[in-house]
Structure 1
């Protein structure tokens, strides 16, 4: 759905000296099933994930939501299904799975990735990255090192945007009200660009900002970090 995010992630990691592979056999991590109570039906997805990725030094995803599911839910799914072999595989692979900002700061040890983005930007920390993965201010460390950027604080930044996957469908009125609060905060910053590390949140907030004709663009963190003076997108 958001191919530019994946392309930006590959460009960024390649620029930082990583040897990047994108195995075409990969599929959904299974979070949509797990979060709606169909954990047993997610077992084949968990099995596919470990089969595809068990040979890699690190697995990087530009989504705190997906990484949170892999690291926090996959073992539970395997355990509850009585899949002991699968549980062992998950316990081997899951610690090597990283959200993008975690990988850059904690594994590669870099905050200045050589990015250039001369725009006024505000950052929304997504719930899974903030509360499940506890990435802290790693995305902000990376953004502060971007050349030309004007980074402004988002009022009520840690408040949920209201998306929450199926929550947005099952509790749409509440979801829209929470999204409206977030949009007011974004517009109050007078930012040109809203950045986050999960496209699901950006889609929810961005849809509302678009209907308001706010003029605020939405970009994934990877897209800003991949931008350079030669490619000032």
Structure 2
């Protein structure tokens, strides 16, 4: 089984610890992970802003970078949704037949991390230890477009020492939405504040999610409030063990 990590732009530039944690976790489960150095952006920011043609070269690059792998795994539901949902649309509207080949090849091999763990590896207990109270925010892409369902919470419930507390209003959008947060900043901030208030009401020490884009938005609000809670990606919790120096 040849597995490649798609780190994504946000993780590469801002949250590299999430990509590292993903590799540590998969290797602990016996999976050999490659990191194709040619990988770059999947094109989601360009496409969401209306630049379909500018997205096409990035599709070609993704196709070349991940050619030959059985699975492409990423700790980002929004990027998986971009490939699965939007690559076929871009290919259908484009004039380059190679785009269809890229889409047809990459779409069935692209997996969000929790999907890969539960559906491909068939595990929910990954041997993690994280002695904290945690609440989980399901991002819109994972919840609505990928249908991740209870895969993330199955994994969290199996972590030793972790107490999972249900998040009120969990299915409500956090307000990030990529360029939505830039174009509609007041609305985005208000939505994020509502989500943070719900999160703080749980008394959890950690607000967990499977998309660092959402966690960047919510974590920023938490920091500005000097709140007693921090945002942390699911992969970093699942990669932790009893040897980790948790404070």
Same fold (TM over 0.5): yes
Distance 1:145 1:232, change over 3 A: farther
* CA–CA separation in structure 2 for the residues paired with 1:5 and 1:73: 25
Query: For residue 90 of structure 1, what is the aligned residue in structure 2?
Result: 103
Confirm or deny that 1:110 pairs with 2:123. Answer: yes
Offset from partner CA, 1:71-98 (integer Å, 9 cap, x none): 1111211221112122123112211100
Q: Is the 8 A contact 2:59 2:102 kept in 1?
A: no
Confirm or deny that 1:152 pairs with 2:170. Answer: no
Match of 1:52 among 65, 88, 95: 65
Confirm or deny that 1:13 pairs with 2:29. Answer: no
Structural mapping, 1:69-218, within 5 Å = 69-218=82-231
* CA–CA separation in structure 2 for the residues paired with 1:5 and 1:100: 11
Tell me the secondary structure at the aligned position of residue 135 of structure 2. Answer: strand
Query: Could you say what the CA RMSD is over the residues aligned between the two structures, in angstroms?
Result: 0.8
* CA–CA separation in structure 2 for the residues paired with 1:64 and 1:110: 19
Match of 1:28 among 35, 41, 46: 41
* CA–CA separation in structure 2 for the residues paired with 1:147 and 1:122: 15
* Structure 1 alignment gaps of length 5 or more: none
Q: Is the 8 A contact 2:127 2:159 kept in 1?
A: yes
Number of equivalences:
233
Match of 1:66 among 60, 75, 79: 79
* Structure 2 alignment gaps of length 5 or more: 1-13
Runs (4 or more) in structure 1 with deviation over 4 Å come to none
Normalising by structure 2, what TM-score?
Answer: 0.93
* CA–CA separation in structure 2 for the residues paired with 1:135 and 1:107: 14
* CA–CA separation in structure 2 for the residues paired with 1:159 and 1:85: 38
